[in-house]
Amino acid sequence: AFSPMARQQPELLNDPVKVLLSFAISQGIGVVPKSSNPEWICSNFDSLDLKLTVKDLDELNNIPINKNYIRPTPWLVL
Spatial distance between the Cα atoms of 34 and 16, rounded to a whole number of angstroms: 16
Provide the pLDDT for residue 77. 65
Is 76 a domain residue?
A: no
Query: Is the residue at 74 inside a domain?
Result: no
- Answer for the pair 50, 19: CB distance below 8 angstroms, yes or no: yes
Bigger pLDDT: 77 vs 26 = 26
Whether residue 77 lies inside any domain: the answer is: no
pLDDT of residue 1: 42
24 lies in which domain range? 4-63
In a domain, 48, yes or no: yes
Compute the Cα dihedral for 50, 54, 60, 61 and give only its sign: positive
In a domain, residue 27? The reply is: yes
Q: Which pLDDT tens digit goes with each residue over 13-68?
A: 677 888 889 999 998 888 888 889 999 888 888 888 888 889 888 988 888 777 76
The total number of structural domains in the chain stands at 1
* Domain annotation covers residue 32: yes
Let me know if residue 41 belongs to a domain. Answer: yes
Coil/strand/helix, residue 55: helix
pLDDT tens for 67-76 read 766 666 666 6
Residue 58 domain flag: yes
